[in-house]
Amino acid sequence: MQQGNLSAVTLAITPEPPGLRMAFSGRLNATAAARDWAEATRRARMGEPLHLDLSGLEALDMAGAVLLLRLENLAGPARWTVPPGPMQTMLDRTRTALSGPRPPAAAASLPWLAWFGQLAWDAGGALVTRLAFLGEAVASGLALLSHPRRLRRTELLRHLDEAGLRAFPLCILLGLLLGMILAFQSSVPMRRFGAESFIPNLVGISLLRELGPLMAAVILAGRTGSAFAAEIGTMTVNEEVDALRVMGIDPMAWLVLPRILAALAVMPILALVMDLAGLIGMGVVMGTLGYPPASVVAALERALVLRDLLGGLFKAAVFGLAVGLIGCRAGLSAGRGPRAVGDAATSAVVGGIVAMVLLDGLFATLFYRLGL
Amino acid sequence: MAEPVVQVQGLRAAFDGQTVFENVGFEVRRGEVFVILGGSGCGKSTLLKHMIGLYAPAAGTVHVLGQDIHALEGSARQALLRRIGVMWQSGALFGSDTLAENVMVPLEQHTRLPAEARALLARAKLGLVGLSDAAARLPAEISGGMAKRAGIARAMALDPPILFLDEPSAGLDPITSAGLDALIVQLARDLGTTFVVVTHELQSILSIGDRCIMLDKEAKGMIAEGDPRALRDHSDNPVVRAFFRREVMA
């Protein structure tokens, strides 16, 4: 005879021709079921006819009932000895509960060709919805020109404040550090060639044409794009967007346009702040290398032209538009449940950064072709 | 008469110096469906949160299964909390988990049952509330009534002797609400579980309640205790009468 003496229950497994007798005594609860589960189910899997003897049981909860029914399920129809009363009720109730319909099985995985086709179809569908969103935004923007009062000015001001003014400290800090790092890093190889005096040229052009707008856009995507997506995503989840539609209010004009316009307007300013902070950071490093501010300014005047700045600011405005559009679209297309808002914010940040890099490459080619 | 499993004595709830209710005292007996009723804003849910140890009382004590829930700390408090289940007004299901996974959370955290046993037990609990076929769905994919039933299944995961339900019928259609009431009565009878139910739904109060107390916003405390049907038919208190007869107070 094998006996497991537990704090709550005692299980005795004894041969009883033609099979096994499992006799439980004490309290068969979740703790006891957890301790006996492995051994009892292992013996039941042997397929010998079972006699489940509960005559010594004092109490049985649903975890215990699940164990007993599992044993019967593994071994085949069992002989039961159950004292009449609540234990029989518990067993009956658990048996009924377990016999309910099973949830539909998950769809079987597709063969690779079908999977590839599904992927292409989904990608095509996603592209179409993005284009539709873009078209809808353009149409709403054009409609706004004829009905400018539809634009919520207070909302626009709020987003200008949140996306712009409140991002200044971060832009200044990152710009300063970026300028200092670029100056330091370039000073080492340039000193070897006696070209230290050209550091302002290198840093100035890099900042104004590329890094200033790009870093400002990263800040906008991280701070503002995700906030747009989370805010609108929460509204979508809470059916506020549906409520707007039912009230005959265009969510594009109400929610999207103020945000896009704010992103479009603040980005050149953020890029400018980033540029200036970067140049100051570079100037500080140049000072430590023995170059007075006047010579740094003179070098910048020689190296930079207005179109470097304007080209960068134009790019920044386009980046702002892209980040705003992507953030709002992510929010409006949010699914249901709390995870949807997180997914929307992630999608806004990742989509925004990827779009910026693609646009930057496009601008680089375009400016090169145009000789700018 | 069954022994008391919850004893509330001289309870006072206050926030920022504002008293919500005071001198609240009653007992809930094993196996009964005890209803806390009253109009909106009288402190029903606040009382429930004091009973489950979420809010500390400004005065008074709450004993659950013989232990002062607010005096317990650490593992002793955890052990007591494992012996009660709570269904929240909104269901409070974890949105990223399926219904089965929601029910398995307390089983994973508080038992050593193997995965197979947890899955079967979750299936049984969901079957008990009629949600077997929805086990793989996310909370966002089910109706309000299903969310409440799933909330009950999760609250029952560890077979607690006491279940606290906050507004189980709120926002449900009459048929779903009646189904939920029938489920509560059935579980109380079949499993011997004690239910403490906060509600202001008259139909539910009368169909499930063995005993009740009534809180009142103006009185800042209890104004009635007893069998809800007896209170409806024989109470001398005008507020209680108005509540049960759906009358507007002058």
Under DSSP, the state recorded for A167 is G
- Residue B19: is its pLDDT beyond 60? yes
Q: Residue B159 — φ and ψ, nearest 5°? A: 50, 55
State how far the Cα of A365 lies from the Cα of B3, in Å rounded to an integer: 83
Cβ contacts from A onto B, under 8 A = 98
Q: What is the mean pLDDT of residues B65-88?
A: 90
Interacting residues of B157 by C-beta distance below 8 A, sequence separation 6+: B85, B103, B104, B105, B106, B107, B121, B122, B125
Q: What is the mean pLDDT of residues A336-352?
A: 87
Q: What is the mean pLDDT of residues A92-119?
A: 83
Q: What is the pLDDT of residue A188?
A: 87
Kindly list the residues from chain A whose CB atom is less than 8 angstroms away from the CB atom of residue B159: 29-30, 61-63
pLDDT digit string, tens, across residues A175-195:
999 999 999 999 888 888 888
Collapsed DSSP state (helix, strand, coil) of residue A291? coil
Q: What is the mean pLDDT of residues B234-245?
A: 88
Q: What is the pLDDT of residue A93?
A: 87
Of residues A30, A7, A46, the one with CA closest to residue A22: A46
Tracing tokens 């550091």 back to the chain, one arrives at A199
Under DSSP, the state recorded for A253 is I
Domains detected in chain A: 2-96 (3.30.750.24), 143-370 (no CATH)
Kindly list the residues from chain A whose CB atom is less than 8 angstroms away from the CB atom of residue B124: 62, 65-66, 94, 97-98
Cβ(A352)–Cβ(A228) under 8 Å? no
CA B208 to chain CA mean position, Å: 12
The domain spans of chain B are 1-83+161-178+189-250, 93-159
Of A31, A103, A335, the CB nearest to B111: A31
Of A63, A100, A335, the CB nearest to B127: A100
Of B128, B133, B158, the CB nearest to A103: B133
Q: What is the pLDDT of residue B100?
A: 95
B134 to chain A, any CB pair closer than 8 A? The answer is yes
Which residue on chain B is closest to A106 by alpha carbon?
B136
Q: In this predicted complex, what is the ipTM?
A: 0.77
Query: What is the distance in angstroms between the Cα of A252 and the nearest Cα belonging to chain B?
Result: 25
Q: What is the pLDDT of residue B198?
A: 94
Q: What is the mean pLDDT of residues A265-289?
A: 94
State how far the Cα of A264 lies from the Cα of A322, in Å rounded to an integer: 9
Q: Alpha helix (H) ranges present in A76-198?
A: 86-98, 112-146, 153-163, 168-192
- Residue A46: is its pLDDT beyond 80? yes
State how far the Cα of A226 lies from the Cα of A231, in Å rounded to an integer: 8
Tracing tokens 């317990």 back to the chain, one arrives at B72
- Residue A166: is its pLDDT beyond 80? yes
Kindly list the residues from chain B whose CB atom is less than 8 angstroms away from the CB atom of residue A61: 159
CB-count exposure of residue A135 (10 Å: 0-12, 13-18, 19+): exposed
Q: Residue B230 — φ and ψ, nearest 5°? A: -70, -40
Tracing tokens 């007075």 back to the chain, one arrives at A292
Confidence of residue B248 (pLDDT cuts 50, 70, 90): low
A87 to chain B, any CB pair closer than 8 A? The answer is no
> Which residue type occupies A332?
L
Q: What is the pLDDT of residue A319?
A: 95
Q: What is the mean pLDDT of residues B133-154?
A: 90
State how far the Cα of B117 lies from the Cα of B107, in Å rounded to an integer: 9
Collapsed DSSP state (helix, strand, coil) of residue B162? strand
Q: What is the pLDDT of residue B30?
A: 92
- Residue A325: is its pLDDT beyond 60? yes
Q: What is the pLDDT of residue B250?
A: 57
- Residue A4: is its pLDDT beyond 70? no
Of A30, A70, A339, the CB nearest to B96: A339
State how far the Cα of B145 lies from the Cα of B173, in Å rounded to an integer: 8
A323 to chain B, any CB pair closer than 8 A? The answer is no
As given in the structure block, the two tokens for residue A212 are 């200033």
B231 to chain A, any CB pair closer than 8 A? The answer is no
Q: What is the mean pLDDT of chain A?
A: 88
- Residue B246: is its pLDDT beyond 80? no
Kindly list the residues from chain A whose CB atom is less than 8 angstroms away from the CB atom of residue B153: none
Element (H, E) at A111: none
- Residue B57: is its pLDDT beyond 90? yes
Between these two residues, A5 and A365, which has the higher pLDDT value?
A365
Confidence of residue B180 (pLDDT cuts 50, 70, 90): confident
- Among left, alpha and beta (phi > 0; psi -120 to 50; other), residue B60 is left
Interface test with A, best of B83, B94, B96, B120 (most A CBs within 10 A): B120
B124 to chain A, any CB pair closer than 8 A? The answer is yes
Q: What is the mean pLDDT of residues A292-317?
A: 91
- Residue B85: is its pLDDT beyond 70? yes
Q: What is the mean pLDDT of chain B?
A: 90
Q: Residue B65 — φ and ψ, nearest 5°? A: 50, 40
pLDDT digit string, tens, across residues A254-264:
899 999 999 99
As given in the structure block, the two tokens for residue A287 are 């000072």
3-state DSSP of B180-239: HHHHHHHHHHHHCCEEEEECCCHHHHHHHCCEEEEEECCCCEEEEEECHHHHHHHCCCHH
Under DSSP, the state recorded for A106 is P
Q: Is the dihedral of CA A25, A27, A28, A31 positive or negative?
A: negative
* Maximum mean pLDDT: which of A103-112, A336-345, A349-358: A349-358
- Residue B18: is its pLDDT beyond 70? yes
Q: What is the mean pLDDT of residues B202-229?
A: 92
State how far the Cα of B29 lies from the Cα of B211, in Å rounded to an integer: 9
Q: Under an 8 A CB cutoff, do B159 and A29 touch?
A: yes
Query: Which CATH number does the domain B1-83+161-178+189-250 belong to among 3.90.650.10, 1.10.260.40, 3.40.50.300, 1.10.3720.10?
Result: 3.40.50.300
Confidence of residue A249 (pLDDT cuts 50, 70, 90): confident
Of A34, A62, A98, the CB nearest to B112: A34
CB-count exposure of residue A7 (10 Å: 0-12, 13-18, 19+): exposed
Of residues B13, B42, B90, B11, the one with CA closest to residue B243: B42
Confidence of residue B194 (pLDDT cuts 50, 70, 90): very high
Q: What is the pLDDT of residue A260?
A: 94
